[in-house]
Amino acid sequence: MSLKALTTKLDEKTLKALKAVSEKTRIPQSELIREGISLVLRRHSEDAITPELKNEIDDLLREDKELLKRLSKA
């Protein structure tokens, strides 16, 4: 994985908290930031799936499961 630099600004309280967690866990601050970004991206991408879309996906999966079950018995 190729990493690219990103510059951002954080308030003093957040910076102190980040440093404290980094020191306590021995996880580099940059890794904690990457992990935080991943969590936020995952949460917001899940929000993009509406209940209606989720229901449609679930229906299709049920249909596929039934079809595969019948095919396995053939």
pLDDT tens readout for residues 11-67: 999 999 999 999 999 999 999 999 999 989 888 887 777 888 888 888 888 888 878
- pLDDT for the residue numbered 10: 96
Which pLDDT value is given to residue 1? 74
Q: How confident is the model at residue 70 (pLDDT cuts 50, 70, 90)?
A: confident
Determine contact, residues 32/42, Cβ cutoff 8 Å: no
Q: For position 48, what pLDDT does the model report?
A: 73
**Could you tell me the CA-to-CA distances from 10 to 5, 14, 15, 39 in Å, in that order?**
16, 6, 6, 18
